[in-house]
Structure 1
């Protein structure tokens, strides 16, 4: 069982007391209220770059566990943000046994202490009990345990609602939660390519209460086409931006009667299949076109300076789905077609990495492959280079980053395979 270390240092902000959060239903329309005022969640998943989150119109942060809780709550309060406070329940795929009554009871008591410690912090918005506990599981008793945690929260903290989060939306999980976890107030859904249509599905599956889209973003690495050698093809930053806009407008914002808002994933950067798949920022904090879209959706205004737009990336005239093969040591030509809507001069950076072999599930931490030293020769046309392929046979990815000099960039990668 994961042990959470509770911080003994509580914020001075707690003296202001909790701000009551509640959900109300009127004529079939659900509304979240905070401090008696309607509250729609424009949330970010991740606790970095919070100044920018506020500047671009976000109002809430999702934390998946109690790790660094005091720090996150205090920073959120200082910046006028709320926090979806996650309680990371043990997962069967990570070895937690819900037939072990002692472990289940210990988990409940551990969370009781967490809730008692942080329930009066004014930044707390609600409690998120578990994240994707349904991922690769067989023991339905996890929902009974989640219900016991939610019941405890309702007894200890009358000011904040409870939610549990599933991986996507499935009729079986909806029914199990209704039957085994009636203390859950809000349904949380992590969804990517399947976001549009969730509004109809959740009604058809019998959930009568409100819901929140707790993770959303690009097509997941399990939802995209693969190369002939079995690796997923990642969308470019510009393709992602188009999908973020479509999914927000046609999915999240299109259901004001039941959807209480959302948390975009990932407000930050991480290695998950690749180093660019889910983060809306690059590793150095540079913003991608996705951030432009989020600012527009949250504020109704596009940023004064827009990010570069990448239309295509090819190696030896082949795109990712063309299954590009090259020979060891072969000279390769890479062409990135990038434009800047403001006419900014673009600078390019290139990175060659072997295909990652550390692929996990459920967002578990992955290691980043080390970049390979190569000599890049710029072509006559901006965004064009030649390089010599490594001698080692196997799968690789070439990444391109196109910077506009104003903190924005376009990013893409193309997988290819070296074979003799």
Structure 2
């Protein structure tokens, strides 16, 4: 009899453990903080994408088929682009691959679907019904550049809010977001109440966890990390990582960053990691991969505090997978999207 009770006890313990294991990934959340698409919670497992070939400084989609194949393999569900994709064939391919895209609009792009001219709304009208569109993004880190707005950053916040309102007048399906550098201050939040979802470009070494606590205190809106991650070049030897090309430093940093993000899904709706491919156009000669480059507020780049702008890809410019590709693939595929 004691043996039977013992066996029954083991079975019940096993069942309870299974239930606990299954529910562990369920998130107790304030639903207003969770990004929704088509009325369903949507966890962004994304990548920033600006493919520029060797010898060029202009974006090209000549490798879109290969790139999408690599993205799908890595479990990526969202692409973030810095300028509109005015090519229906490319958007169709993104959709056919099962991915969504966050379309970014710049402020002054010489009237090419930009905010200053107001022509961005023409793009919204043109592609509003395309199934690949996830969100409309207005600006990237413009809070770091008041000099672009007559040295008065409120000029940008006004333009941002007015542009968001204009989109919302004609599009009730897609959310409007922005990519803000770091945690927005009280002025930014007050002046941009029409923003639906906040994207934050965050470089806080390999642990952004404090950010999520800070966000909870200042806003109840959905947020995600529109940029995060490390590069694969160490300017100096530090924290056990050798100077020079160092894929392990990048892979280790990105693993910890993603762990923090996905452990805080009740506040953070995911990330578009920076970035898909190395960009040889950012520093020095476009025909060679150069160290250096510059980015605002970048002292938190792991593990050397230096943004080596041409080494940030999860694949190199020839589409060879780096160590971090495997890390991101494992993290994205192992993380449930349920809330």
Fold conserved (TM > 0.5)? yes
1:56 aligns with 2:90: no
What is the aligned partner in structure 1 of residue 266 from structure 2?
257
Q: Deviations over 1:229-262 (max 9, x none)?
A: xxxx666111110010001102x11211121111
Name the residue aligned to 2:93: 75
Q: Does 1:213 align with 2:213?
A: no
Correspondent of 2:182 among 141, 152, 168 = 168
Aligned pairs for 1:3-22 (under 5 A) are none
Counterpart position of 1:187? 198
Are 1:294 and 2:328 matched, yes or no? Answer: yes
Whether contact under 8 Å (1:29, 1:257) holds in the other structure is no
Q: Secondary structure at the match of 1:51?
A: helix
How far is the alpha carbon of 1:77 from its aligned partner? Answer: 0.7
Q: Could you list the per-position Cα deviations for residues 120-161 of structure 1 after superposition, in whole angstroms to 9, with x for gaps in the alignment?
A: 111110111111111232322101001010000100111111
Taking structure 1 as reference, are residues 220 and 207 closer, same or farther at Cα in structure 2, changes over 3 Å only?
farther
Question: What is the CA distance between 1:60 and its match in structure 2?
Answer: 0.9
| Mapped contact 1:108–1:148 kept (Cα < 8 A) | no
* Per-residue deviation, 1:53: 0.7
Following superposition, the deviation at residue 89 of structure 1 comes to 1.8
Q: Which has the higher helix share?
A: 2
Say whether residues 1:154 and 2:168 are aligned partners: yes
- Quickly say closer, same or farther: Cα 1:75–1:26, change in 2 above 3 A: same
Quote the residue 2:287 is aligned against: none
Please tell me whether residue 113 in structure 1 is matched to residue 131 in structure 2. no
| Superposed CA offset, 1:33-70 (max 9, x none) | 33333321111111651111112211111111114453
Say yes or no: does 1:35 pair with 2:23.
no
Unaligned 5+ residue runs, structure 2?
1-27, 51-63, 238-242, 283-291, 293-307
CA distance in 1: counterparts of 2:115 and 2:332, whole angstroms: 41
- Judged with a 3 Å threshold, the aligned counterparts in structure 2 of structure 1 residues 111 and 86 are, in CA distance, closer, same or farther, namely same
Alignment correspondent of 1:126: 135
Alpha carbons 2:32, 2:220 under 8 Å: kept: no
Where does the alignment leave 5 or more consecutive residues of structure 1 unmatched?
1-24, 97-101, 228-232, 302-420
Closer, same or farther: CA 158–108 of 1 in aligned 2, 3 Å: farther
Q: How far apart are the structure 2 equivalents of 1:213 and 1:106? A: 22
Aligned length: 256
Instruction: Determine which structure has the larger strand proportion and give its number.
Output: 1
Q: Is the 8 A contact 1:31 1:38 kept in 2?
A: yes
Structure 2 vs 1, CA of residues 234 and 89 (structure 1 numbering), >3 Å: closer, same or farther?
A: farther
Q: Measure how far apart 1:226 and its partner are.
A: 5.8
Question: CA offsets, 1:93-117, max 9 Å, x none?
Answer: xxx9xxxxx9xx9725211111111
CA contact (8 A) 2:232 2:245 kept: no
Instruction: Tell me how far 1:290 sits from its aligned partner.
Output: 0.2
1:241 aligns with 2:251: yes
Q: Does 1:65 align with 2:83?
A: yes
Normalising by structure 1, we get a TM-score of 0.55
* RMSD (CA atoms): 3.0
Structure (1 or 2) with the larger CA radius of gyration: 1
Out of 100, 104, 107, which is 1:89 matched to? 107
Q: Write the distance in 2 (CA, Å) between the matches of 1:71 and 1:63.
A: 16
Which residue of the other structure, out of 273, 276, 282, is the alignment partner of 1:267? Answer: 276
Alpha-carbon contact 1:43-1:263 (below 8 Å) kept: yes
